[in-house]
Chains A and B, each alone.
Chain A
Amino acid sequence: MTSEDIELIFRHADEFKEVLQRPIKKVPSLRDITIANLFFENSTRTRLSFELAQKRLSADVVNFSASTSSVKKGETLVDTVNNILAMKVDMVVMRHASPGACLFLSQHVDVPIINAGDGTHEHPTQALLDAFSIREKLGAIKGKKVLIVGDITHSRVALSNIDCLQKLGAEVMVCGPATMIPKHLGLLGVKIVHDFDAALQWCDAVNMLRIQLERQETSVRFFPSLREYSLQYGLNADRLKKVKKDILIMHPGPINRGVEISSDVADGEQSIILDQVENGVAIRMAVIYLLAQKIQR
């Protein structure tokens, strides 16, 4: 995706956000399109956000959950998707635990595929809605300083955010324990620091990532305890008071309250966490709408 593609998505997301404020929150554009949501991993926000976006565009939606499907009986990914496509489904939105799953699938099926998260690789629509939210509050992304904090190694949100923000001209810094930052991340042009307080003074917006306990091997400890992680890298009111300017507080969700972020900060005035969720529907409407233009009637 180029920066022009991203700006095109933002332009349409602005108009879809207006649609979401109307008494009738629908447009008829995709009323002859059927979209299958294939979620092989758990999700609340992303799944609901995509489903709402599709329904607001008047598309028909089918939801697939791996836990109640024939995947349990050993059916392969390609077989699963081909069976679904045989029922005249026009587009697929997929979240899968394997990095590259969407790219792999695109080489075997001939429908537009939207990546809703593939393992620890990417989460493109999350990055788009994060950048859109920053743009909404702070104006053009170019020149803005964005800090990403937490478990960078296991975060598809971090990788997608780095890519998207840099394409739009932002400066990106990551902060966290050295054990949770990939060794060669600097090759992406990202600043790496371990002093959270200093990093907070630098940034215009901070994106707090959740500690992904489910991804970390139980035999490997990336930090001594949750308490120590929270002391060093948790964002709380005392830490925020020391920051000289009003920075934006962001989080992709779900929040571990009291670990990476305290409740008063997550629910406070500088937090745009719920704005991110609202913008997610508009951004996903824009992505689906623009991609659907490739499906000729």
Chain B
Amino acid sequence: MNQDLLEVVIQRLCYQLIERYAPFTKVVFIGIQPRGVFLLTELERHIKRIAPDMPWISGVIDPTFYRDDFRRGDKQLLAHPTKIPVHLDGCKVVLVDDVLFTGRTIRASLEALMEYGRPESIDLLVLINRKFTRQVPIEPAFVGKSIDQYDRQKVKVLWQKDGEGENQVVLSQE
């Protein structure tokens, strides 16, 4: 998926969010560290262009301390910042991540999110939904694109950094 197609998909997601949540009262968009934050930034850019008068409240959450693979294996887990600007009691939360794979990151993120209050609802927005690789019962409400990749195949979302490179989605065989 190249940059132009990615822009169309992200715009469509923005219109879906506006359709569901306008006028964005007590709606909080939370990007999952580290890669959901890039998608959140793109969503913010588009929504502020499409609907500049609507309030935008966003934060980022890091699920590292809630992961279930901690101390299972040699992989060093690295923490990232968490910044939730408001108490989430009574808020509608949209969790944002780039790729939904097994669902375990989302499970950990949900547990982390509950430390900040009791949201009225939590919905999941993902750019890429890998349909056949789920290991926990988690499904997104908003999907950029669903794909049928299996475990052995990799999906990578590349984000432009400091004006260098292109936003794109790359599929590859391991």
Chain A residues within 8 Å of B76, by CB: 293
For residues 1 through 60 of chain A, which have their beta carbon under 8 Å from a beta carbon of chain B? 11-12, 14-15, 18-19, 22-24, 26-29
Q: Is A295 part of the binding interface, using a Cβ–Cβ cutoff of 8 Å?
A: yes
Shortest CB-to-CB span from B113 to chain A, Å, is: 11
Judge whether A11 and B71 touch: CB under 8 Å: no
Given the known A-B contacts A18-B82, A22-B115, A24-B115, are A293 and B66 also in contact in the complex, defined by CB atoms under 8 Å?
no
Shortest CB-to-CB span from A154 to chain B, Å, is: 37
- Docked pose: A296 CA to B75 CA in angstroms: 12
Chain A residues within 8 Å of B65, by CB: 15, 19, 27-29, 289
Chain B residues within 8 Å of A29, by CB: 65-66, 70
- Docked pose: A97 CA to B30 CA in angstroms: 49
Query: Looking across the interface, which residue of chain A has its beta carbon closest to that of B80?
Result: A15
Judge whether B71 and A18 touch: CB under 8 Å: no
> Contact residue range for chain B?
20 to 34
Q: Is B111 part of the binding interface, using a Cβ–Cβ cutoff of 8 Å?
A: yes
Judge whether A293 and B115 touch: CB under 8 Å: no
Q: Is B90 part of the binding interface, using a Cβ–Cβ cutoff of 8 Å?
A: no
For residues 68 through 121 of chain B, which have their beta carbon under 8 Å from a beta carbon of chain A? 70-72, 76-83, 87, 111, 115-117
> Contact residue range for chain A?
10 to 19
For residues 37 through 82 of chain B, which have their beta carbon under 8 Å from a beta carbon of chain A? 62, 64-66, 70-72, 76-82
Q: Is A193 part of the binding interface, using a Cβ–Cβ cutoff of 8 Å?
A: no
Most buried by A among B72, B115, B117: B115
Chain B residues within 8 Å of A28, by CB: 65-66, 111
Query: Looking across the interface, which residue of chain A has its beta carbon closest to that of B69?
Result: A297
Judge whether A11 and B79 touch: CB under 8 Å: yes
Chain A residues within 8 Å of B117, by CB: 23
Q: Which of A15, A26, A292 contacts B79 (CB 8 A)?
A: A15
Judge whether A293 and B62 touch: CB under 8 Å: no
Query: Looking across the interface, which residue of chain A has its beta carbon closest to that of B33?
Result: A15
Q: Which of A15, A19, A293 contacts B70 (CB 8 A)?
A: A293
Given the known A-B contacts A293-B70, A293-B71, are A22 and B116 also in contact in the complex, defined by CB atoms under 8 Å?
yes
- Docked pose: A217 CA to B62 CA in angstroms: 52
- Docked pose: A42 CA to B80 CA in angstroms: 36
Judge whether A297 and B71 touch: CB under 8 Å: yes
- Docked pose: A274 CA to B16 CA in angstroms: 49
Chain B residues within 8 Å of A22, by CB: 115-116
Given the known A-B contacts A24-B115, A28-B65, A29-B65, are A293 and B72 also in contact in the complex, defined by CB atoms under 8 Å?
no
- Docked pose: A14 CA to B76 CA in angstroms: 17
- Docked pose: A19 CA to B78 CA in angstroms: 15
- Docked pose: A18 CA to B79 CA in angstroms: 12
Query: Looking across the interface, which residue of chain A has its beta carbon closest to that of B108?
Result: A28
Judge whether B116 and A295 touch: CB under 8 Å: no
Judge whether B81 and A296 touch: CB under 8 Å: no
Pick 5 A–B contacts, CB within 8 A, sort by A. A15-B62, A18-B81, A24-B115, A27-B66, A28-B65
Instruction: Give A residues with C-beta under 8 Å from B.
Output: 11-12, 14-15, 18-19, 22-24, 26-29, 289, 292-293, 295-297
- Please name the 9 residue pairs, one residue from A and one from B, whose CB atoms are nearest each other, closest first: A27-B65, A15-B79, A24-B115, A29-B65, A297-B71, A12-B79, A22-B115, A18-B82, A297-B72
New contact pairs (13) apart from A29-B66, A293-B77, A296-B72, CB-CB < 8 Å? A14-B81, A15-B62, A15-B64, A15-B65, A18-B82, A19-B65, A22-B116, A23-B87, A23-B115, A26-B115, A28-B65, A29-B70, A293-B70
